[in-house]
Amino acid sequence: MTDFDLVRKNLFRKPLRTILLTVSIFMAFLIFGMLTSLNVALNAASETGTSGNRLIVSNKINFTQPLPISYVNRVSSIKGVTGVTHQSWFGAYYQDQRKSRFVGFYVDPETYLNLYEDEVKLTEAEKKAFISERTGVLVGKSLADLYGWKVGQTIPISSNIYVKPDGSRTWDMKITGIFVGAKPTDSTAAIYFHYDYVNETRTFGRDTIGNIAIRTASPDLNDSIAKTVDAMFANSSAETSTVDEKTFARAFLKQAGDLNFIVTMVVAAAFTAILMIVSTTLVSAMRERTKEIGVMKTLGFSSPRVLRMVLGEALLLSTLGAVLGLGVSAVILKGLAKSPVGSQFGDLSMAPMVAVSGLLLAITLGLVTGAVPAVSALRMSIIDALNRR
């Protein structure tokens, strides 16, 4: 019988206790895998589709506040600006607001496709059809696959923000193209449709836009152009804040809170609780086996060997719980990635670095929780072990 066999048998000598400890560790690593993977996906999504020579102009108060559409022409006249478009958040959903919300922007078709041609991949025929069709809509491939949408089909898209004069919140749109991203992992859970179509039929906010996207001749000009834009609209009724695209994406993400801090605190709280539970239980279990350790040392087991076996139990327990927790979280994430909400996060899967970090954390947890009983077993003399009651 090898030392591993002894470790395994000692660990499962009380199956119920081991199962409960494993479930506790499993839950901690399930939380770790889910939250950390979500955070990684969101951070990656904020970097994807951004360009070093693009700026975003939004309202200085908050990017949820509108800007006059007249700002677009004024910005396009600035030296060093090679392209300008605008986009506005629609609050889009399909049929059921609770289950089928996704990213939806109403845009100026021609200028938007010109500025974002690398992120919204279409055939030339689809581009021309979208530009010419007033009720046209571009849908991402993941949404098209999810709902079974086809080019030429008319679909009802509703808004949780805007209302039509007849009280309806739904606009009928004709699918003129299905786009893919620059990379297979890019999120395509979005739709884009005509600004004029919505602007002419909404009951409020007419002739306003969400933000302006600018393409500059060089990233070196970003700072000077941003300052020029903000100075142009200073002291107006709608002052602006102009930042590079990555900064804007991060700011948009932070509207949900500081996710890095939230994830860190939740994971830390979970592992602190597990650390206390597991370490206390292992110390109690070791006290139950004091005489057994004395017998082992009497039979020739060296103190370092006993220490390794005790640490081995803690490591086996933490690794088992971690593998189960990380494995289940990977399966859940894969399922979420196929849903309308989950598909908005791009590659919502467990990144290799999350899995590796989880396993390293499991090893650390095993070493920490097993340290006290292992050192106690190392220092315990045969006489003390056999005499202890």
pLDDT of residue 373: 74
Pairing verdict, β 208-209 and 67-68:
antiparallel
pLDDT of residue 271: 80
Task: Check whether 389 has a pLDDT greater than 70.
Answer: no
Q: Which of the four pLDDT bands, split at 50, 70 and 90, describes residue 93?
A: very high
User: CA dihedral defined by 122, 140, 211, 112, rounded to 10 degrees?
Assistant: 10
Instruction: Show Cβ contacts of residue 367 under 8 Å, excluding neighbours closer than 6 positions.
Output: 311, 314, 315
Burial status of residue 24 (CB atoms within 10 A of its CB: 0-12, 13-18, 19 or more): middle
- SS3 category, 64: coil
Q: Which of the four pLDDT bands, split at 50, 70 and 90, describes residue 172?
A: very high
> How much is the average pLDDT of 143-168?
93
Range from 56-65, 149-158, 374-383 carrying the lowest mean pLDDT: 374-383
Task: Check whether 50 has a pLDDT greater than 90.
Answer: no
pLDDT of residue 46: 55
pLDDT of residue 185: 66
- SS3 category, 154: strand
CA distances from 359 to 98, 261, 366, 371 (A): 36, 21, 10, 18
pLDDT of residue 81: 95
What's the whole-number average pLDDT of the chain? 84
CA distances from 375 to 76, 280, 311, 379 (A): 71, 14, 9, 6
Reference 210, options 323, 112, 350; nearest CA is 112
333-358 residue pLDDT tens: 887 776 655 555 555 678 888 889 88
**Using alpha carbons only, how large is the chain's radius of gyration in Å?**
29
Mutual angle of helices 259-288 and 352-379, in 10-degree steps? 30
Q: Which of the four pLDDT bands, split at 50, 70 and 90, describes residue 9?
A: confident
Reading the block at residue 42, the tokens are: 């969101």
pLDDT of residue 88: 95
Residue 341 DSSP symbol: T
Q: Which of the four pLDDT bands, split at 50, 70 and 90, describes residue 159?
A: very high
Q: Please give the helix or strand (H or E) that residue 214 lies within, else none.
A: strand 211-216
pTM of full prediction above 0.75? no
